[in-house]
Amino acid sequence: MAKNNGIPCRLVLEDGTIVRGRSFGKTALSSSCGEVVFNTAMCGYQEALTDPSYAGQILIMTAPMIGNYGVCGADLESKQAQVAGFVVREASRTDSNYRSEGELADWLANNNVLAMDGVDTRALVRHIRQFGALRGVMSTDPACTDEDLLSKAKTSNVMTGQDLASQASAETPSNWTENLGEWNIHKTSKSSGQLRVVALDCGAKSSIYKNLVSAGCEVVSMPNDASPAEIRAQNPDGLFVSNGPGDPEAVNTTIETLKVMAKELPTFGICLGHQMLAIALGATTWKLKFGHRGANQPVRAVETNKVEITSQNHGFCVDEASLKAVGCVVTHRHLNDDTVAGFRHEKLPIMGVQFHPEASPGPHDSAHLFRQFAQMMRTSQKPV
């Protein structure tokens, strides 16, 4: 049976909304602040919990039961849980899956994550959709009054202006060799030769690197504050800019590096990387009302008119007019609200997408973009 310690837990939003439930996972009395957001995926809770892009956020899953297939080390997207809190309708009482290595509640406790169930997540998500992503405080501490928690929520950090990517980044360079293994969906020819890619880690999901390796790339992961000189020293064929948390316009060091290196190397950005790449080229970004988070987000590829179902996790978006003004064209559009979901530069080998082509979880409709990046690097290679 999954452990539910039965301690009353509250989520207080900055607008005064109070949601009550039961805690599971972390057992010590505590409180946690964060921007409250929701994910509409029907599965993949462990990948979401370990996605560094959720740093500083309290995550709501809209699927009615979470934890039914347990947890598995192979599904981790980083070394630990990244969320500030976790809210579900019902935590499964048991795990049932041949890959399960344990129960979600135990894993959350070991990762020091405050979680709560018994919540009407449908009503809570409808509230966020109406009023936008709100700051909130979760607490199991009875010594904190509702008024205390409301005050904490109102005075907690807003997401706009926060450079969380620098906190989520790797501290030292490392070589990534792990691929997708038996799940490899990239058909690459060994005769094509391996491409060397420097990946600026702003809080990257491990599945992204696995896809790059499987697409024929030798990946060198570097901190997001790596200088142009440090990148050049790796003698790369291309530059990759990862996903990550926080406001893209606040990650000044990475943006300054991209202003230089994107003009020298074929460059591909995903999610936060897509946004920072656009900013480095002279475009601007803006904050969405409640973001796009889930594994069922429809995107249309403008140049082929093909619709792809994508995995997404972001709260900011690139401004279309500013993007076109700096010599870029929109390559993908989000079909739910017509926002920019991808772009490429008209003259330089630069491209970015707002969604996650590695999925994890989600469909693999967009996995071809890793191969497209590899082809862009091969086309741009200078004769020896």
Which domains, ranges and CATH numbers included, belong to the chain? 8-155 (3.50.30.20), 165-380 (3.40.50.880)
Contact 215, 374 (CB under 8 A): yes
Give the residue from 221, 155, 210 showing the smallest Cα distance to 364: 210
The pLDDT assigned to 229 comes to 98
Nearest to 19 by CA among 56, 58, 53, 45: 58
Q: Give residue-wise pLDDT tens across range 189-206.
A: 554 678 999 999 999 999
Give the whole-angstrom CA distance, residue 299 versus residue 336.
8
For residue 1, name the pLDDT band (cuts at 50, 70, 90). very low
DSSP 52: G
User: Residue 325 pLDDT > 60, yes or no?
Assistant: yes
Q: How far apart, in whole angstroms, are the C-alpha atoms of residue 33 and residue 353? A: 30
Tokens at 159, concatenated: 């997401």
Q: What is the mean pLDDT of the chain?
A: 94
User: What pLDDT, on a 0 to 100 scale, did the predictor assign at position 384?
Assistant: 46
Q: Is the pLDDT of residue 140 over 70?
A: yes
Catalytic residue annotation: 271, 356, 358
pTM (two decimals) = 0.94
State yes or no: pLDDT of 339 exceeds 80.
Answer: yes
Query: Within 10 Å of residue 183's Cβ, how many Cβ atoms?
Result: 12
Residue 291 CB contacts under 8 Å (≥ 6 apart), including other chains = 37, 133, 313, 314, 315
Burial class (CB in 10 A: 0-12, 13-18, 19+), 243: buried
Assign 317 a pLDDT band (cuts: 50, 70, 90).
Answer: very high
Q: How far apart are CA 223 and CA 138, in angstroms?
A: 32
Is residue 182 pLDDT above 80, yes or no? no
Question: Which range has the worst mean pLDDT, 87-91, 178-182, 199-203, 275-279?
Answer: 178-182
Rounded to an integer, what distance in angstroms lies between the CA atom of residue 218 and that of residue 209?
9
Coil/strand/helix, residue 223: strand
Confidence tier at 383 by pLDDT (50, 70, 90):
low
pLDDT band at 183 (very low <50, low <70, confident <90, very high): confident
